[in-house]
Structure 1
Amino acid sequence: MTSINSSSQDQDFAERANANQASLRAALKTHYDFIVCGAGSSGSVIARRLAENPSVQVLLLEAGGDEDVPEVTNPALWPTNLRSDRDWAFQAAPNPHLNGRSILLSMGKVLGGGSSINAMVWARGHKSDWDFFATEAKDPAWGYENVLAIYRNIEDWKGPPDPEYRGTGGPMFIQSSPNPSPIASAMLEAAQELGIPSFPNPNGRMMEGDGGCAYSDSSTRDGKRHSVFRAYTYPYMDRPNLTVLTHTVVTRLLLEQQQVTGVEIMRDGQTSTLRATSEVILSLGAIHTPKVLMCSGIGDQDELRQFSIPVLQHLPGVGRNLQDHVTFGCIWEYKYPISPRNTGSEATMYWKSHPTLDAPDLMFCQAEFPTRSPATPVLDLPNGGWSMFGGLARPKSRGRVRLSSSNPLDPVRLEANTLAHTDDIKVALVCAEMARAIGNARAFMPFVEREVLPGGKSKSQLEYYIRDSAVSYWHLTCTAKMGHDALSVVDGSLKVHGIRNLRIADGSIMPRVTTGNTMAPCVIIGERASQILKKEHCI
């Protein structure tokens, strides 16, 4: 009876929320208190937190559409979102460091952003990441101890009680992979064979020191994806003070001198403007946030003048410092078929390429199916196979987002520069060998027929394979970084330097990419932005 009542209540709320949003969209206001641009892992949080005050009118803009579709809600179908209408599917420029290849850079174009198309991994980042943020921001509130408290407050942890590290009752339903695959368990055993410790979960003590191995935490609930939008924003869709406008592209900021007054949008083929009486918050991600800034006259003056864009604020760091986790797959054939479970990625590992490092610089995730880049050989796996994705947690290579014209509807030029730094390829070689050592350990012998890729290769052959097989983890960040140096774009309160009534709150503000998947850190960025906005505007 309880489940029937719950289902009925869910249906009643859905109908009420849909009717409310249809009414609000049909009678758009000319002014809102706050306009949040982008309904991803940061913007969804901010819209919800601001709308908690019923006297505050909030408009949330999203270029994509609804996330309540099977490809999103079914965790096993997440790969089908890549290159779909829910993916911006950016393509990086051809890269000589990847043997001339151009790689796919996926980013969510849907309510929930990346949290609606990703592999649902909940990874908090390493303690040293947040302490570095605090140093760059000159604000201890960005430090690990404060961030750990936020994580406890926002989690609804469905695992063994751990009050020092885990919280219950928060909006984000987080659990360890239930009933994991035997090869996920084998990965933990194999890590121990190599002297790498296992932990109860990857989001506590494990990421305060050298790293380790654990079953992955995921944002799934009752067998469905639990996106950040679904967790934070959806429960407020029936409120009269929160308007969620989909299929709406933000093209430019409206500025009067150095003050943002609203946004220009493209919707249904028509250009219009919307005003914000308090602030505009850009949460469009590491590609579109700098694009909108540059199209609005905020960025490197030489870059803007190249396209005859009037310079309103010279900020040379806009679009620079692009960072991403690069990964390359090692693949094994099963002795007998083993079907993927849950999200198809249930075990993770972080470790150091050299013992003298202060934190892990390698990250590994297991995929319970074979994957390859378009440049690697076609696979012949009669019984199926699995992959170990080894990647660089702290890459030194830096890319850039650049305009291709002054037209905000034209695509940007993405110079990912993956593996451009010589140190990255050195670390990648260590990473690949460690992945092979894990997959060829005794723990996998009952399940593995053979190593398919890369196999035994010389150092030069392995380097070539890495450059051929490298793909993005889709953790694009750092293009409007927080700090106070010449390339910083926002300060510790996320205000854009030299511009009033404008903040940025998404992965672009990271001074460096966090150690691990970036969804959870983006939620923290949204929470910190919300705290700052509420305090400054007394709401």
Structure 2
Amino acid sequence: MSTTTASKGVQFALLEGRLLAGDIDKAGFIAQATELGLPRADIADAADKFIAIAVNQAVRSADLRASYDYIVVGSGAAGSVVARRLAEKRDTRVLLLEAGGNDLHASILVTETWFYSQGGEFDWAFSAEPDAHVNQRSIAQAMGKALGGGTSINGMVWARGHQHDFDYWERAADDSAWGYRHVLDIYRRIEDWHGAPDPARRGSGGEVFVQPAPDAAPIASAFLAGAAGLGIPTFADQNGAMQEGPGGGAITNVRIRDGRRLNMPASYLYPVMDQDNLTVLRNAHVRRLTSDGDTITGVEFEWRGSIHSVAASAEVVLSAGAIQTPKLLMLSGIGDQAQLDRFGIPVLSALPGVGQNFQDHPIIGGGLWEAPGPLPTRNNAAEANLFTKSRPGLATPDLHLWQVEAPYLSEVTMQYASENVWSISPGLARPESRGFLRLKSANPYDAVEIHANMLGDARDLIALREGMRIAREIGNSEAMKPFVKREILPGPVEGEALDDLIRNGAMSMHHPTCTAKMGRDDMSVVDAKLRVYGVKNLRIADGSVMPRITTGNTQAPCVIIGERLAEILND
């Protein structure tokens, strides 16, 4: 999609980006924004705001301090939240370090083609090690490399997680503040929900704009009708009551407004980036944490061709994600002693759980149908989804199926794609498989080894067989007939042939989590207050601290993690 055909929301955000970069002045901004037909008051306010941000951040970066109260590493779903909440205390000086660059680019902002950003310039483009469980394939692991982290390249889905997820977190942490009741209070406080009213569960007026995919394509409703025909209930809201029960389907909750992506900086960072107590550095690559004895004193990072060391008088918060956060811990001497000894890294805190317990959501690119004609994509092209159980005895839904208005396939199954095709892709919301991360070297620019072990536990393959069956029944249902010319995949395959299709079609939903888990056992890395065991002045706030992956997309629960840490630090 070209920028000239992009929505007004995208074009306006691109103008804001040009204003930040100094590529356009205020008069030019107002003139071009006026041509979009937007309210003049909104245009003028945006011009003043983004000019103030540009001036403030230029001043802050030109005169870096030797010390800040807090240093936050990573600007993703949790890091943006932590930096914002800390900066709201105007006497607190905050440094936010982001390894990626600017987020106001068309390839980030345009919603319908978000998947093209994965593997591109805004993705770290990590890959798991080849694994026999996925036919010796190396599964791509997308991680955002821009302001906003993963929220700048994800599918914009707002999936809160199931009630049972947070009840489990509460037990693991032995802290009721991680339980569903308190988490629900946070969700109500931060949300600006534009859907069916549900005051007991949904909030309004908060930072996080969320709505059901607007003007969803007819095929999305047909998918839900097909699911209903199998006895899977449908709901007006994918979150709320649906995430307190045995499952169901709904139009997808999305972080899209006026046709543009809303990443977390849009909601949390940009509103405060004109404050003189917040410094945001892009393209700042953190190499390691600095320490004195068992106290973390700050960070060492590369920025603008030079190595800088900056101190944190209060604390450092790692929010670099479930792949990069364990790497930084290990490079700084926090991790399994045998791994650290292997590369001659002095041990600061021997924590064998660092990099262990890796969890991710597999999704299978193995359900494909041809439509009678072109099928335009809308919103995030995945406007309907459902949760259900692979077997009746489960307490919580373990399957997560998506209707996708495009071919959503692996590099192997993509050979079956042709014109006018769409997908139903079954995913596993509660995988049993566990992987791990390892350092390749002590070089901070080397990626870690990712041993994802996807489908390594036989129970995951059994569950996904059922997911494929459900996908096929919905795709060939009476409700879907107007959108079906023929079924391409999976077809009537069973046994080893079906297992082979699942292994060849397996992809990551790009939800790596749990590699520095919160808990009280010997493999835990942080406590209930997100303090790293064995050191002082270091906390973690990102998906790595999850004791177990949540049921559904992980963006919203990572925001909760950021909000919880903000509550802890601001007590």
Q: Does 1:210 align with 2:210?
A: no
Report if aligned partners of 2:60, 2:279 keep a CA contact under 8 Å in 1. Answer: yes
Report how far residue 376 of structure 1 moved.
1.9
Instruction: Give the secondary-structure state (helix, strand or coil) at the position aligned to 1:75.
Output: coil
Distance between the aligned counterparts of 1:389 and 1:505, measured in 2?
Answer: 30
Of residues 276, 291, 296 in structure 2, which corresponds to 1:240?
Answer: 276
Match of 1:494 in 2: 530
Of residues 467, 470, 488 in structure 2, which corresponds to 1:434?
Answer: 470
Q: Does 1:137 align with 2:153?
A: no
Q: Does 1:170 align with 2:206?
A: yes
Distance between the aligned counterparts of 2:374 and 2:413, measured in 1?
Answer: 23
Report how far residue 7 of structure 1 moved.
1.4
Instruction: Give the secondary-structure state (helix, strand or coil) at the position aligned to 2:286.
Output: strand
Q: Does 1:340 align with 2:377?
A: yes
Match of 2:539 in 1: 503
Match of 2:400 in 1: 363
Q: Does 1:350 align with 2:387?
A: yes
Of residues 180, 201, 218 in structure 1, which corresponds to 2:237?
Answer: 201
Give the counterpart letter for 1:179 in structure 2: D
Unaligned ranges ≥5, structure 2: 1-36
Report how far residue 3 of structure 1 moved.
1.1
Q: Does 1:76 align with 2:112?
A: yes
Match of 1:379 in 2: 416
Give the counterpart letter for 2:399 in structure 1: L
Report how far residue 58 of structure 1 moved.
0.4
Distance between the aligned counterparts of 2:409 and 2:342, measured in 1?
Answer: 39
Deviations 1:369-412 (A, max 9, x none): 01221112513534x11111101111111111110011111121
Q: TM-score, normalised by structure 2?
A: 0.92
Unaligned ranges ≥5, structure 1: none
Report how far residue 342 of structure 1 moved.
1.2
Distance between the aligned counterparts of 2:168 and 2:400, measured in 1?
Answer: 19
Report if aligned partners of 2:159, 2:556 keep a CA contact under 8 Å in 1. Answer: yes
Of residues 311, 319, 327 in structure 1, which corresponds to 2:347?
Answer: 311
Give the counterpart letter for 1:355 in structure 2: P
Report how far residue 473 of structure 1 moved.
0.2
Report how far residue 203 of structure 1 moved.
0.7
Report how far residue 269 of structure 1 moved.
3.0
Match of 1:48 in 2: 84
Deviations 1:339-360 (A, max 9, x none): 0111111001000111111010
Report how far residue 159 of structure 1 moved.
1.4
Deviations 1:155-196 (A, max 9, x none): 001112210111000001100011111110001100110000
Report how far residue 113 of structure 1 moved.
0.8
Give the counterpart letter for 1:376 in structure 2: T
Give the counterpart letter for 1:493 in structure 2: K
Instruction: Give the secondary-structure state (helix, strand or coil) at the position aligned to 1:431.
Output: helix
Of residues 473, 485, 500 in structure 1, which corresponds to 2:521?
Answer: 485
Of residues 290, 296, 309 in structure 2, which corresponds to 1:260?
Answer: 296
Give the counterpart letter for 1:267 in structure 2: W
Distance between the aligned counterparts of 2:478 and 2:557, measured in 1?
Answer: 35
Report how far residue 154 of structure 1 moved.
0.5
Q: 1:51-200 residue pairs with structure 2 within 5 A? A: 51-200=87-236
Give the counterpart letter for 2:269 in structure 1: T
Give the counterpart letter for 2:127 in structure 1: Q
Give the counterpart letter for 2:543 in structure 1: G
Distance between the aligned counterparts of 1:231 and 1:296, measured in 2?
Answer: 32
Q: Does 1:36 align with 2:68?
A: no
Instruction: Give the secondary-structure state (helix, strand or coil) at the position aligned to 2:113.
Output: helix
Equivalent pairs counted in the alignment come to 534
Match of 2:260 in 1: 224
After superposition, the Cα gap between the structure-2 partners of 1:97 and 1:11, relative to the gap in structure 1 and judged at 3 Å, is same
Report how far residue 479 of structure 1 moved.
0.2
Report if aligned partners of 2:370, 2:421 keep a CA contact under 8 Å in 1. Answer: yes
Distance between the aligned counterparts of 1:26 and 1:530, measured in 2?
Answer: 28
Give the counterpart letter for 1:363 in structure 2: H
Give the counterpart letter for 2:569 in structure 1: L
Distance between the aligned counterparts of 1:18 and 1:268, measured in 2?
Answer: 18
Q: 1:399-478 residue pairs with structure 2 within 5 A? A: 399-478=435-514
Deviations 1:223-242 (A, max 9, x none): 11111111001100100000
Instruction: Give the secondary-structure state (helix, strand or coil) at the position aligned to 1:516.
Output: coil
Give the counterpart letter for 1:33 in structure 2: D
Deviations 1:78-132 (A, max 9, x none): 1221111110110110011011100110011111111111110000000000010
Distance between the aligned counterparts of 1:458 and 1:290, measured in 2?
Answer: 40
Report how far residue 2 of structure 1 moved.
7.4
Instruction: Give the secondary-structure state (helix, strand or coil) at the position aligned to 1:378.
Output: helix
Q: Does 1:331 align with 2:353?
A: no
Report how far residue 211 of structure 1 moved.
0.8
Report if aligned partners of 2:196, 2:237 keep a CA contact under 8 Å in 1. Answer: no
What RMSD in Å do the two structures reach over aligned CA positions?
A: 1.0
Give the counterpart letter for 2:410 in structure 1: S
Distance between the aligned counterparts of 2:314 and 2:526, measured in 1?
Answer: 18
Match of 1:276 in 2: 312
Match of 2:554 in 1: 518
Report if aligned partners of 2:407, 2:417 keep a CA contact under 8 Å in 1. Answer: no
Give the counterpart letter for 1:21 in structure 2: Q
Distance between the aligned counterparts of 1:257 and 1:515, measured in 2?
Answer: 40
Give the counterpart letter for 2:56 in structure 1: N
> Relative to structure 2, which stretch is displaced further, 301-310 or 370-379?
370-379
Instruction: Give the secondary-structure state (helix, strand or coil) at the position aligned to 2:370.
Output: strand
Give the counterpart letter for 2:368 in structure 1: I
Report how far residue 77 of structure 1 moved.
2.6
Distance between the aligned counterparts of 2:83 and 2:169, measured in 1?
Answer: 23
Instruction: Give the secondary-structure state (helix, strand or coil) at the position aligned to 1:33.
Output: strand
Match of 1:287 in 2: 323
Report if aligned partners of 2:195, 2:237 keep a CA contact under 8 Å in 1. Answer: no
Report if aligned partners of 2:397, 2:429 keep a CA contact under 8 Å in 1. Answer: yes
After superposition, the Cα gap between the structure-2 partners of 1:377 and 1:272, relative to the gap in structure 1 and judged at 3 Å, is closer
> Relative to structure 2, which stretch is displaced further, 422-431 or 286-295?
422-431
Distance between the aligned counterparts of 2:217 and 2:304, measured in 1?
Answer: 46
Give the counterpart letter for 2:517 in structure 1: K
Instruction: Give the secondary-structure state (helix, strand or coil) at the position aligned to 1:132.
Output: helix
Distance between the aligned counterparts of 1:2 and 1:317, measured in 2?
Answer: 52
Match of 2:62 in 1: 26
Distance between the aligned counterparts of 1:296 and 1:436, measured in 2?
Answer: 49
Instruction: Give the secondary-structure state (helix, strand or coil) at the position aligned to 1:45.
Output: helix
